[in-house]
Chains A and B, each alone.
Chain A
Amino acid sequence: MAAVRFDSVSRVFAKELRPAVDRLSLDIPDGEFLVLVGPSGCGKSTTLRMLAGLERVDGGSIWIGDSDVTRVAPQNRDIAMVFQNYALYPHMSVEQNMGFALKMARTPRPQIRTRVGEAARLLALDEFLGRKPGALSGGQRQRVAMGRAIVRDPQVFLMDEPLSNLDAKLRVQTRTEISALQRRLGTTTVYVTHDQVEAMTMGDRVAVMNEGRLQQVDAPKRLYARPANVFVAGFIGSPPMNLRVGRLDRDGVLLDGYRIPLGRDLLARAAAAGAGRDGELVVGFRPDAAELTAESEPGLAVVVEEVEELGFDAFAYAAALDDAAESLHSADIVARLPGDTAVSRGQKMRLRVNPQGIHLFSTKTGESLD
């Protein structure tokens, strides 16, 4: 087991204008479960493949423990990887698949048998040891791929979207199994996913990437509570944070003619950090920071466009009535309302936004002003 360090690592693919991974610096302490998350094409898989040695590094260096592995071949890195399509050897039995790495390490045969047996018991694969991967279900194949990784007791586990080929129910179950297994083995793990639920539930820390750049690394809760910039705010959370351009006012922020009062400290910081021309800035609030209020009260005037009833609560997708200000991500404002609220399509309503739930971002840089 070992810590992993990315030191200003870049990868530029031929004929691409922008680097797939751009000067990534990231420290992963020994034993941590780190999730790399981001939209497709954000560079998360490339990052993982560079750590595996399957992708060339064009700049910077990668360290596993005390050794610089930047130019080390994959077979000499002592890492184990679970691939998206599992990449099981189709001509080998489950037992041979799981024991292959040990065989390559010239482990004595009796010891291979013992260790494969132990891993198989741990993953409930005992009865399938003699089968070929072709005769296994998707979930069983996934477990064999896991088994192939854990049987080696490597320095680092690398997982590249290992759950994306499972059905929804199995995915939830396997998610908790992998987390539990990692905690039990205590092996440093780098896990790539585009699924933010996996990221939030599995990682000790989550690294959000976009367009080759690391946006924020933090514990899941902090990522949700204090997004570092507009991208993280819009990416983490489902439905995402509402982001609209507003204007700094004397004692609050003005959003489509609705003044949300804010604390002096936050206002001072926002002003100091340089809210744009005319005090313009991006105002963000999560769907659950909005609540229905009476017509006579101050609030954001919206028209309901769609309602998603989820039983306990409902998501109302609405458009601002005074649409002078331009929204950043979509024309919609999403509000999470109690399930028994009577709202319907085309209905006008007024939303009060809880000042505690307000996030402010620079219009120029997108960075948080909180």
Chain B
Amino acid sequence: MIDADFEVVRDEAPPMSLARGATLVRRARAQLGVGTSTWWFVLPALGLYAFIVLIPTVRGSYYSFTDWDGLNPVKHWVGLDNFTAILHDDAARGAIKHTVLIAIAIMLIQNAIGLLLALGVNSQIKSRNILRVVLFAPAVMTPVVVAFLWQYLYTPDGAINRALGAVGLHGLERGWLGDTSLALWCIVVVIIWQFAGYSMVIFLAGLQSIPAEITEASAVDGAGAFRRFWYVTRPLIAPAITVNLMLSIIGGLKLFDQVWVLTGGGPGYATDTLSTLIYRNAFQFGEFAYSTALALLLTVFVAVVSGAQYRLLRSQEYA
């Protein structure tokens, strides 16, 4: 009898306590709301992000529905008036057009050049290490500094015109930034000069993740250099392509510093972008509410374009 009792206790005690422990843990988890969700871990960062970015953005957006001038404490709700004004504002429509043009040009040309540079310095040429450094160097400079440097190059008696003159091409000498049909492209050149090396580094990282054996296998399989790139390299660097296209289109849509330094949006409004227009309207013309509306438009525009682009590009990457 005693023996039997003893047996029962000894057999059941460990499983019972284990089960009890598990129940306690489960209950604690349910109370805290953790365990199944990882959101809990994101909370501190998310809180900070909300405090610094989300809340100011939402609160700032409010002004785009008012007639606030930035100084007068009195403001009135005007609904969508600011947005309809944008539609009828030639300056705003011009700025949107320039912004889109610059963004597309930068995205295409900067990445094409960056990719070619990456393919070049990914080869076995002796000077590849020094070339990587030299080509990436402009990207570490401050954009405003780069813009000032190029402004000197572009002046009518600057280095570019003098170089053209020195080789007898006087016919090509221009007032580069003063020419309404050229100024926009002059800005694009500066951006590409500065950031092609940056794209190169991202492409290079992608290229170096491809095992040499795979490229060799495609060569043995009968693919020449171009088809090797198209069928094997390109799909394998798709993530780098995504990153580069995203960064360059977002950078292009937000462009401000270089335009402001090089042309200030001029000549006339020939190189105005949404960012320069927003800045001028807000801080020079005191139209804060209207600028906020433009800024909101730019934000939504960037979000929609980059979101759509991201989905499209990710679908091109292999799982």
Interfacial residues, chain A to chain B (CB-CB below 8 A) = 52-54, 73-77, 79-81, 83-85, 87-91, 100-101, 104-105, 132, 148, 152, 158
Contacts and interface: CB of A to CB of B under 8 A. Distances in A.
Contacts of A76: 222
Contacts of A81: 216-217, 220
A89 B223 contact: no
B211 A74 contact: no
B205 interface: no
Contacts of A101: 221-222
A100 B221 contact: yes
Given A100-B231, A104-B227, A54 B318 contact: no
A143 to B, nearest CB: 16
Contacts of B235: 91
A74 B219 CA distance: 6
Interface of B: 211, 213-214, 216-224, 227, 231-232, 235-236, 318-319
Contact of A89 (B218, B224, B227): B218
A79 B219 CA distance: 10
A3 B261 CA distance: 69
B223 A87 contact: no
A340 B115 CA distance: 70
B221 A54 contact: no
Contacts of B236: 90-91
A47 to B, nearest CB: 15
Given A85-B213, A91-B235, A80 B220 contact: yes
A133 to B, nearest CB: 11
A83 B223 contact: no
B224 A87 contact: no
Contacts, number: 66
B216 A74 contact: yes
A105 B213 CA distance: 20
Nearest to B317: A91
B220 A79 contact: yes
Given A88-B214, A104-B223, 15 more contacts: A52-B216, A53-B220, A73-B219, A74-B219, A75-B224, A80-B221, A83-B213, A87-B211, A87-B214, A87-B217, A89-B214, A90-B214, A100-B221, A105-B222, A152-B221
Contacts of A79: 220
A87 B222 contact: no
8 contacts: A54-B216, A85-B211, A87-B216, A89-B232, A100-B223, A100-B231, A104-B221, A152-B221
Contacts of B318: 90-91, 132
A90 B238 CA distance: 13
Contacts of A84: 213
Contacts of B319: 132
* Residue among A79, A87, A88 facing the most chain B CB atoms (10 A cut-off): A87
A46 to B, nearest CB: 14
Contacts of B223: 75, 100, 104
B99 to A, nearest CB: 35
Given A91-B318, A132-B318, A104 B222 contact: yes
A158 B221 CA distance: 12
Contacts of B222: 75-76, 101, 104-105
Nearest to A78: B222
A132 B319 CA distance: 9
Among all A-B residue pairs, the 4 with the closest Cβ atoms = A91-B318, A87-B213, A104-B222, A87-B217
Contacts of A54: 216, 219-220
Nearest to A81: B220
A149 B153 CA distance: 57
Contacts of A77: 220
A367 B319 CA distance: 57
A345 B232 CA distance: 59
* Residue among B218, B220, B236 facing the most chain A CB atoms (10 A cut-off): B220
A152 B217 CA distance: 13
A104 B227 CA distance: 8
Nearest to B318: A91
